[in-house]
């Protein structure tokens, strides 16, 4: 869906028409969340313990409130859903192949 169409209809009118995956993308700014890997593996020992050594630490900018944040991604080979710690907006991180 084009951005123009989305703006024209308003997000809430069109959301229920779309598959869940697309809804998530609209809610997280219309595209995959961009993030940077800061530490791989994570330097957070607790996160590493919980994830059996899989955890990484990422930084990202919340598409809802524009705040720069960091978080632990315990299982970076699986999608991660969380709410922004500041504005509680929905965030969706997808693994990428690097």
Which region, judged by CB under 5 A, interacts with Zn ion, from 12-20, 46-54, 59-67, 72-80?
59-67
Residue 69, exposed/middle/buried by CB under 10 A (0-12, 13-18, 19+)? middle
Q: Binder to Zn ion among 54, 61, 64, 92 (CB under 5 A)?
A: 64
By CB under 5 A, is residue 86 in contact with Zn ion? yes
By CB under 5 A, is residue 84 in contact with Zn ion? yes
What dihedral angle (degrees, nearest 10) is formed by the CA atoms of 73, 75, 77, 78? Answer: -90
By CB under 5 A, is residue 33 in contact with Zn ion? no
Secondary element (H or E) of residue 24: helix 20-27
Interface residues with Zn ion (CB under 5 A) are 62, 64-65, 84, 86-87, 89
């Amino acid at each position: 869906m084009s951005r123009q169409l989305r703006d024209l209809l308003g997000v809430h009118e069109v959301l229920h028409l779309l598959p869940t995956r697309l809804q998530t993308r609209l809610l997280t700014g219309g595209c995959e969340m961009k993030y940077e890997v800061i530490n791989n593996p994570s330097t957070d020992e607790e996160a590493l313990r919980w994830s059996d050594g899989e955890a990484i630490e990422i930084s990202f900018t919340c598409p809802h409130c524009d705040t720069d944040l960091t978080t632990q991604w315990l299982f970076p080979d699986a999608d991660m859903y969380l709410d922004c710690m500041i504005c509680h907006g929905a965030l969706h991180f997808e693994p990428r192949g690097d």
